[in-house]
Amino acid sequence: MKALSFLVLVLPAFAGPTSSLEETYAAQGRLIVASFASAPFPHPARAEGHTYQGKLYPAAEHYADSTVAIFIPKGFRETDRIDFVVHFHGWNNTVAGTLETYHLVEQLVASGKNAILVVPEGPHDAPDSFGGKLEDTGGFHRFMDEVLATLRDRAGFKRKDFSFGRIILSGHSGGYHVMAGILDRGGLDRNADEVWLFDALYSQTDSFVAWAQRSPGRLIDLYTDHGGTKEETEKLITHLRAQDTTILQAEEAQLDPVSLPGRHYVFIHTDLTHNEVLDKRGEFALFLKTSVLTDR
């Protein structure tokens, strides 16, 4: 992609097993790891675990982790309204694995945006897209209230009178399902100011389109040839074009970042593989840099 010199990342060596997850990112800012009552799991729908392709994924191992990671970049400016990027991991992953593999902390720092990253534990190392309590009616509002309460208690901010600012929902792969649930019934006024799908538009397309029709925010769909999202994405593109809806459709290799701000529907086809779309070329940082978020 053109003009991505601002995305050069300096990645720290991942800390050894004796170091806490919080210590791993201390050079970049402050990472708070907490257990939330409003976290996706545990949830009654997974009280007996989940069976996929004949294999049982027990609740105790895969649906009992209520971990939420909250990262505050160094130099964060305190204001009365805090902006957030909430990211949902895909199948067979965890909070720690997502941060380590996709360098979300480093990409947020590189973007220069004055926002806080939130990564909740989904199904823990399991092939499952269910978002637990975040798919319940009002579940996202309760979750974000707990994020604010945790920041007031543990972030060391001088002011305590802050509330929600802009919220961006980001998801990779199976993360689409919980995002659709949040957009449909999350409980906030808009639930999201932008929505980013990293090779994640498998279904629930009506939920994303309905959000886009009632919100001025940007919907980005970055899709691959073999990740299982191309057919659904192309169907949506065809549908929108038939309605004379203005969209940006581009190849990632020729993508000009200048074209991204202010767009409503953005479809980006990439030659990357499914597990490369978040960080191989600094994609997460690019979307941050061109977003509605303000700079630090």
Separation of alpha carbons 87 and 172, rounded Å: 8
CA distance 38 to 42: 9
Dihedral angle sign, alpha carbons of residues 134, 268, 294, 99: positive
> What pLDDT sits at residue 6?
35
- Specify the pLDDT at position 10: 37
Helix (H, G, I), strand (E, B) or coil at 88: strand
Q: What is the pLDDT of residue 270?
A: 98
Q: What is the pLDDT of residue 14?
A: 39
Counting Cα atoms < 13 Å in the Cβ hemisphere of 60 gives 0
Q: What is the pLDDT of residue 187?
A: 97
Longest dimension (CA), the chain: 56
Q: Which helix (H) or strand (E) holds 234?
A: helix 230-242
Q: Could you tell me the domains of the chain?
A: 5-10+17-289 (3.40.50.1820)
Q: Supply the DSSP string of 121-142, one letter for each residue.
A: --SBTSS----GGGGSTTHHHH
Give me the pLDDT at residue 61, please.
98
Q: What pLDDT does 19 receive? A: 52
One digit per residue, the tens of pLDDT, for the chain of length 296 reads: 444 433 434 334 433 332 589 999 999 999 999 999 999 999 999 999 999 999 999 999 999 999 999 999 999 999 999 999 999 999 999 999 999 999 999 999 999 999 999 999 999 999 999 999 999 999 999 999 999 999 999 999 999 999 999 999 999 999 999 999 999 999 998 899 999 999 999 999 999 999 999 999 999 999 999 999 999 999 999 999 999 999 999 999 999 999 999 999 999 999 999 999 999 999 999 999 999 999 99
Res 3: pLDDT: 40
